[in-house]
């Protein structure tokens, strides 16, 4: 009886903590999408990461930095442009070409003057603004967050980013949206003061200072994939998921080997346990 | 059970060493030949699991500390540097972060085991209290460790918890302010706070290791309790620790590594909070500040009381109860196997604590059972804070109930440890 009660308690514990984890996000359910890297065995799709980088470079990078990444990271093992031939990502021709096309600020070692020079794979991604006030001034007072770990910094990760980027539409009638602000069904902000309708029917979503970015054909993909809003959003979300944890794929691969090892090891220790205890009544 | 030593030095070197530093004798008597009740179940394997957890935290922590930078401007990026650029840094960090959770999971099971089988009763009171001291040190260590990555939850967790001490201004004016200033190293949570927390986070685990030594010493004087709670009467009640319990604990440790590894490799962020990947920003308070899961029951008790000082006292009181339980429980029978009434109260106590943990993760005003609607249309009714109050009351009541269950009608207690085993076999 008590045994049953205790196992019921254990199940309850799992349920409540599982529930607590999911109940933490009170918001609107995200748009359904599946990523190749979902789940314990999922892997990144290189093509998608390459397209995603292109979306970042051609669209997002004009407002958002990615300060934790260097151009070399793009060509490291597991990265979008990794090539077996170039074990050292600094030698990878894609990383070199991508970097060389970007001018970064530097100091002339001979004169001490502020100059710009082509980036190298060792340079960090270039920041779009020289400082925070400049970034705010360019975005109606709002600060575009650094995107390096954004996929980990938001509940829902890549799924949230995908929903956010595709979730723009006409604000519901009754909602006042200030100039320079845009309604998005998946963003979270307090809308109650801007809402004219009944107090118990405040619409989901929120308003933010980033406008709709991913119009169809905004980016021309090199592999010929048609660039719909959906495709662009999915690819850039995948790229940001990779950037937030570049070793995630290696982590899962190692994990698989570790699990197999532990299961075999557990079996062997169990058999030794049975053998040693064979003659003890207990 | 610290009887005569069974160690016989076999080689000339061992004989030479034994009369100078009998360290091999000590190892033999505590870890190899130590007579251990033969009926210990799997709940007893968590002691060994905890020792492994401590070693894992120290080993992974020392490596993290080689790359981590305790500076408010650099800490966040240095943790990301560990994740990205340090060879296997991601693995070391995820082992350390999830290791803390696994450590707490194990310690809670270990403590529940002690509460159920009456392991805190004479002659094991000192052993139990040393365990409670370890638990307190673990909480302090984990709290300060969580501050180190200097994300939003790190920062605001530190703000909320350190501010609790200001409640002591209500006891002696100035006392609370004195404590918070001392913890902060200034007038708010800032770089000096991070520096002292890092220093203490490095120090405390070694103090834990010291208290663990005392804990094991205090274990080896009376010997292990066991599921029957009956004292060891003869040699036939025991088996030598090695190989019997080295293999059983070993098996349990490997089993424990399976969910541990699952978290590290497949769900490393499941127990964390997304906001901690946003750099600490003193100007932007997150909407919902929640501590790590292992603090949630105490957090719920704290928030269930509107008065800050009383809330803080209740929270500390909840832990103080554990220190006092050897004297609160007056029953002559140790194991709840033979205490049919007490064990129901125990089962409810465990469930209540788990649900308190759930409450700690919700907003206090969230409605669980909607009854009506307010004028804005928001549901009203039975809220999380009221559920927490009921459960917190039960948490404290449990220890009082133990006091009054002194003369509970118990089931027949076996004569010896071997008796129930033999009875089953007949
Ligand atoms: C009782 C043992 C210990 C516990 C329970 C513990 C717990 C924690 C926790 C919860 C974190 C935050 C992890 C995160 O979210 O990133 C942390 C971080 C850290 N700990 Fe420990 N720790 C222990 C021992 C140690 C030791 C002995 C050292 C150093 C010798 C250490 C060094 C560090 C460092 C450098 C960090 C920051 C890096 C990071 O956040 O990943 N820890 N610890």
* pLDDT of the residue at B375: 72
Arithmetic mean of pLDDT, A51-63: 98
B56 and B187 assigned to the same domain: yes
* pLDDT of the residue at A255: 98
Arithmetic mean of pLDDT, A71-87: 96
Nearest to A258 among B80, B239, B265 (CB): B265
B270 and B416 assigned to the same domain: yes
B136 and B78 assigned to the same domain: yes
What is chain B's pLDDT, residue by residue, as a tens digit (426 residues)? 456 788 999 999 999 999 999 999 999 988 889 999 999 999 999 999 999 999 999 999 999 999 999 999 999 999 999 999 999 999 999 999 999 999 999 999 999 999 999 999 999 999 999 999 999 999 999 999 999 999 999 999 999 999 999 999 999 999 999 999 999 999 999 999 999 999 999 999 999 999 999 999 999 999 999 999 999 999 999 999 999 999 999 999 999 999 999 999 999 999 999 999 999 999 999 989 999 999 999 999 999 999 999 999 999 999 999 999 999 999 999 999 999 999 999 999 999 999 999 999 999 989 999 888 877 777 888 999 999 999 999 999 999 999 999 999 999 999 999 887 666 554
Q: How many domains does chain B have?
A: 2
DSSP calls for chain A = -HHHHHHHHHHHHHHHHHHHHHHT--SPPPPP---TT-STT----HHHHHHHHHHHHHTGGGT---TT-BGGGGGSTTSTT--TT-SSGGG-HHHHHHHHTSEEEEE-TTT--EEEEE--TTSBPPPSSSSHHHHHHTTTTPPPPP-TTHHHHSTTHHHHHHHHHH-B-PPPTTB---TT-EEESS-----GGGB-S-GGGPPSSEEESPPP---TTSS--TT-----HHHHHHHHHHHHHHHH-TTHHHHHHHHHHHHHHHHHHHHHHHHHHHHHTTT---
Residue whose CA is at the smallest distance from ligand 1 atom 14: B97
* pLDDT of the residue at B397: 98
CB atoms inside a 10 Å sphere around CB B10 = 9
The proportion of chain A whose per-residue pLDDT surpasses 90, expressed as a percent, equals 85
B41 and B29 assigned to the same domain: no
Rounded Cα distance, B140 and B390, in Å = 27
A128-137 confidence digits (pLDDT tens): 999 999 999 9
Between positions 292 and 331 of B, the ones with CB within 8 A of A are 293
* pLDDT of the residue at A17: 47
* Mean confidence (pLDDT) of chain A: 91
Nearest to A153 among B268, B278, B358 (CB): B278
B319 and B402 assigned to the same domain: yes
* pLDDT of the residue at B82: 98
Residue whose CA is at the smallest distance from ligand 1 atom 23: B57
Rounded Cα distance, B131 and B107, in Å = 9
A198 CA distance to ligand 1 centroid (A)?
Answer: 49
A242-252 confidence digits (pLDDT tens): 999 999 999 99
Determine contact: B375 vs chain A, CB below 8 A: yes
Determine contact: B77 vs chain A, CB below 8 A: yes
Residues 6+ apart with CB under 8 A from B290: A24, B153, B273, B296, B299, B360, B361
B65 CA distance to ligand 1 centroid (A)?
Answer: 9
Q: What ipTM does this complex have? A: 0.92
Between positions 31 and 50 of A, the ones with CB within 8 A of B are 40
B220 and B264 assigned to the same domain: yes
Q: Which residue of B has its CA nearest to A268?
A: B251
Arithmetic mean of pLDDT, A183-192: 94
Determine contact: A247 vs chain B, CB below 8 A: yes
Mutate to test the interface with B, among A189, A245, A253 (most CBs of B within 10 A): A245
Between positions 13 and 42 of B, the ones with CB within 8 A of A are 38-39
B6 and B72 assigned to the same domain: no
Nearest to A20 among B258, B274, B358 (CB): B358
Mutate to test the interface with B, among A249, A255, A265, A279 (most CBs of B within 10 A): A255
Q: How far is CA B256 from the centre of its chain?
A: 16
Determine contact: B103 vs chain A, CB below 8 A: no
- Kindly provide the b/e burial profile for residues A69-80, where b requires at least 16 CB atoms within 10 angstroms of the residue's own CB: bbbbbbbbebbb
Between positions 47 and 76 of B, the ones with CB within 8 A of A are none
A188-204 confidence digits (pLDDT tens): 999 989 999 888 788 99
Contact between A199 and B376 under an 8 Å Cβ cutoff? The reply is: yes
Domain enclosing residue B69, as ranges: 34-425
* pLDDT of the residue at A3: 53
B16 and B146 assigned to the same domain: no
Q: What pTM did the predictor assign?
A: 0.93
Rounded Cα distance, B252 and A247, in Å = 30
| CATH number, domain containing residue B216 | 1.20.810.10
- Give which of B238, B107, B48 is closest to A269, Cα–Cα: B48
B202 and B269 assigned to the same domain: yes
Determine contact: A201 vs chain B, CB below 8 A: yes
B221 and B335 assigned to the same domain: yes
B27 and B50 assigned to the same domain: no
* Statement: residue A22 has pLDDT above 50: no
Residues 6+ apart with CB under 8 A from A122: A70, A71, A72, A90
Residues 6+ apart with CB under 8 A from A23: B361, B362
B130 and B241 assigned to the same domain: yes
B189 CA distance to ligand 1 centroid (A)?
Answer: 19
């Amino acid at each position: 009886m008590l045994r049953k009660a205790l196992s019921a308690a254990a199940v309850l514990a799992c349920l409540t903590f599982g529930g607590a984890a999911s109940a933490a996000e009170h918001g609107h359910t995200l748009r359904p999408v599946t990523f190749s890297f979902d789940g314990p065995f999922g892997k990144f799709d290189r093509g998608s990461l390459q397209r995603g980088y292109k979306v970042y470079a051609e669209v997002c990078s004009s407002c958002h930095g990615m300060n934790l990444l260097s151009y070399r990271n793009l060509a490291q093992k597991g990265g979008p442009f990794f090539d077996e031939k170039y074990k050292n990502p600094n030698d990878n021709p894609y990383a070199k070409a991508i970097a060389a096309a970007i001018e970064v600020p530097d100091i002339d070692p001979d004169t001490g003057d502020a100059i710009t020079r082509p980036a190298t794979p060792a340079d960090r991604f270039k920041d779009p603004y020289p400082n925070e006030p400049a970034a705010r001034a360019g975005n109606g007072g709002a600060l575009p967050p650094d995107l390096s770990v954004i996929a980990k910094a938001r509940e829902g990760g890549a799924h949230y980013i995908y929903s956010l980027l595709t979730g723009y539409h006409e604000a519901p009638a009754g909602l006042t949206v200030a100039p320079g602000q845009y309604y998005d069904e998946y963003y979270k902000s307090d809308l109650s003061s801007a809402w004219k309708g009944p107090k118990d029917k405040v619409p989901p979503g929120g308003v933010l200072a980033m406008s709709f970015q991913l119009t169809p054909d905004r980016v021309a993909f090199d592999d010929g994939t048609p660039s719909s809003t959906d495709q662009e959003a999915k690819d850039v979300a995948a790229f940001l998921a990779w950037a937030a944890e570049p070793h995630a794929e290696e982590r899962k691969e190692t994990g698989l080997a570790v699990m197999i090892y532990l299961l075999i090891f557990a079996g062997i220790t169990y058999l030794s346990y049975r053998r040693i205890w064979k003659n003890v009544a207990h | 059970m610290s009887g005569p030593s069974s160690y016989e030095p076999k080689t000339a070197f061992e004989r030479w060493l034994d009369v100078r530093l009998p360290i091999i004798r000590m190892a033999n008597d505590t870890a190899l030949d130590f007579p251990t009740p033969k009926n210990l179940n799997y709940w007893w394997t968590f002691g060994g699991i905890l020792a492994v957890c401590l070693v894992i935290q120290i080993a992974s922590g020392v490596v993290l500390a080689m790359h981590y930078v305790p500076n408010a401007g650099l800490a966040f990026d240095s943790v990301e540097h560990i994740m990205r650029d340090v060879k296997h840094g991601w693995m070391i960090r995820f082992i350390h972060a999830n290791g803390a959770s696994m450590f707490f999971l194990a310690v809670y099971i270990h403590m529940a085991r002690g509460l159920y089988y009456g392991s805190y009763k004479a002659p094991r009171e000192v052993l139990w209290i040393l365990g409670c001291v370890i638990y307190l040190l673990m909480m302090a260590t984990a709290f300060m460790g969580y501050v180190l990555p200097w994300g939003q939850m790190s920062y605001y967790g530190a703000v909320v918890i350190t501010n609790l001490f200001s409640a002591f201004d209500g006891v002696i004016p100035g006392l609370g302010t004195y404590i918070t200033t001392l913890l902060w190293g200034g007038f708010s949570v800032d770089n000096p706070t991070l520096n002292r927390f890092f220093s203490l986070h490095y120090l405390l685990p070694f103090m834990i290791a010291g208290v663990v030594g005392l804990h094991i010493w205090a274990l080896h004087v009376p010997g292990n309790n066991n599921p029957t709670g009956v004292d060891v009467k003869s040699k036939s009640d025991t088996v030598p620790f090695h190989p019997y319990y080295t293999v059983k604990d070993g098996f349990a440790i490997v089993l424990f590594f399976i969910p541990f590894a699952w978290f590290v490799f497949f769900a490393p962020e499941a127990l964390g909070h997304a906001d901690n990947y946003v750099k600490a920003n003193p100007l932007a308070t997150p909407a919902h500040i929640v501590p790590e899961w292992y603090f949630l029951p105490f957090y719920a008790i704290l928030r269930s009381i509107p008065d800050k000082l009383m809330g803080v006292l209740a929270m500390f009181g909840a832990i103080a109860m554990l220190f006092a339980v050897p004297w609160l429980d007056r029953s002559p029978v140790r194991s709840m196997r033979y205490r049919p009434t007490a064990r129901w109260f125990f089962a409810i106590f465990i469930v209540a604590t788990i649900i308190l943990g759930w409450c700690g993760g919700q907003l206090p005003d969230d409605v669980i059972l909607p009854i009506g609607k307010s004028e804005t249309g928001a549901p009203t009714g039975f809220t999380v804070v009221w559920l927490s109050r009921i459960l917190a009351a039960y948490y404290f009541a449990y220890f009082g109930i133990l006091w009054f269950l002194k003369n509970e009608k118990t089931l027949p207690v076996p004569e010896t440890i071997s008796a129930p085993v033999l009875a089953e076999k007949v």
